[in-house]
Amino acid sequence: MLSRDPLIAALEFRRPDVMPVEYHASPAGFLEHGEKLRALWLEHRDDFGPPGRFSIPDVSSGARRWREGWGVQWREELFGTGGIPLERAVSSL
């Protein structure tokens, strides 16, 4: 099979000769390893796309706050560790 054939076979529920591989970006992993992690992914590509689809975050501002599409405001004290909801869109929850 060609490099994309195992991925296509798996998505079509056929039996590929090898299991397709997909990497998932961890913001904390990029914070810790940055360009070394990107270089590793360039050398050992996954089957779902180029490693450039993941960006190395800018964490120079420290803690961050954001409001997502559902109206919940979040706070994250240590980058990549997960947010704490500060303000919910529906106050009874």
Q: Which backbone phi and psi does 65 adopt, to 5 degrees?
A: -130, 145
Domain spans of the chain? Answer: 1-57, 59-93
Please give the Cα distance from 45 to 7 (Å, whole number): 13
> 3-9 long-range contacts, Cβ below 8 Å, gap at least 24?
3/47, 4/47, 6/47, 7/47, 7/48
Average pLDDT score over residue span 11-23: 88
User: Residue 93 pLDDT > 60, yes or no?
Assistant: no
pLDDT of residue 13: 93
pTM of the predicted protein model:
0.47
pLDDT of residue 24: 74
For 47, residues 6+ apart whose C-beta sits below 8 A from its C-beta are 3, 4, 6, 7, 20, 21, 22
pLDDT in tens, 33-81: 878 887 888 888 788 776 666 666 666 666 788 898 888 999 887 766 6
Structure tokens at 11: 């998505």
pLDDT of residue 6: 86
